[in-house]
Copies of this chain bind each other. A is one copy, B any other.
């Protein structure tokens, strides 16, 4: 039961191996396998060890290489973030996803996230429908509000309308997905009068709602019948159990199609063969990332080593460790959330590409087979 899950989670010391799982909210979906993916913001950060900064063109090339590697090794999803700062130089995720599409065969391509509040939903839908057509139906979109606020002033949207903008634009985006001609009126965009929305995607475009911890956002996803992705980089995951349970409940109450009841979790991730090595080698990069790019006062500045280690603990949010530690935390979070997808941000803070590639390879070769073969995935 949801309540039982919450209590287990909040106790924060669950012994996974000793318990049988009680993920009753998932019993109707039969056998499901958790999807495993990665995502990037493409941050440009001087390597804290060498002091070197790679060019934006090189960063893009490494992102294409990472996506190709993830595809070849069998990961399920590659996500691309949207920002509007020179130090986070990907502002057009759909364009990057299209470039990745050509070099990959199976991996699903997603934004992570599309800052819908400051975009025109018509252009967004057109861009992602185009990626879908170019990739054989592999495009997905995560609509979010973003942790950064530069796009509001850049595109002339009033931050005071933060929520109203997002709500209206999400409503329009969902309608565009339903029909190739649309008549629509709203507050923040000109009217549409039997307008043709072209092109149409290869299939129905999966649209997720990205949430960062606001309980109302998760409820909105349930209300609208959308899959939800929780980005959590700083708090114990157990804190969000109530929120995800509420999402499931609202989704069910509204009678939406069960195929749209999906949960994904996203966070910072670094994998090495040895747990201590993973923890030690990642810290300078992790720390540099927060020092250089943190979006808000409560996240900015130096992350002290003890805070970092706390976040990397079994009950903490970030995935830093050996493959077995990653597997253990996935299974712990699976008990909390019964989630369908995990996405790791593996390339932050100027981490050299060779280490990014190693994380991807270890996720694919060691973590993926374990979650495929685990009872957790087979019985839920």
Contacts and interface: CB of A to CB of B under 8 A. Distances in A.
Interface of A: 56-57, 60, 64, 83-86, 88-92, 94-96, 98-103, 120, 122-123, 126-127, 130-131, 133-134, 136-137, 150, 153-156, 180, 189-193, 195-196, 198-200, 202
A250 to B, nearest CB: 34
Contact of A131 (B90, B95, B153): B95
Q: Which of A101, A126, A134, A155 has the most CB of B within 10 A?
A: A134
B91 A56 contact: no
B180 A134 contact: no
A82 to B, nearest CB: 10
A46 to B, nearest CB: 17
A154 B122 contact: yes
A190 B156 contact: yes
The 10 closest A-B pairs by CB, nearest first: A156-B190, A102-B102, A89-B199, A98-B98, A98-B99, A91-B126, A95-B130, A99-B134, A92-B130, A95-B98
A129 to B, nearest CB: 8
Contacts of A189: 156
20 contacts: A57-B137, A57-B202, A84-B198, A85-B198, A86-B196, A86-B198, A89-B200, A92-B127, A92-B130, A95-B98, A95-B127, A96-B98, A98-B98, A120-B155, A150-B195, A154-B196, A155-B190, A156-B189, A156-B190, A156-B191
Q: Which of A89, A91, A199 has the most CB atoms of chain B within a 10 A radius of its CB?
A: A199
Contacts of A154: 122, 192, 195-196
From A85, A92, A102, name the one whose CB has the most chain B CB atoms within 10 angstroms: A92
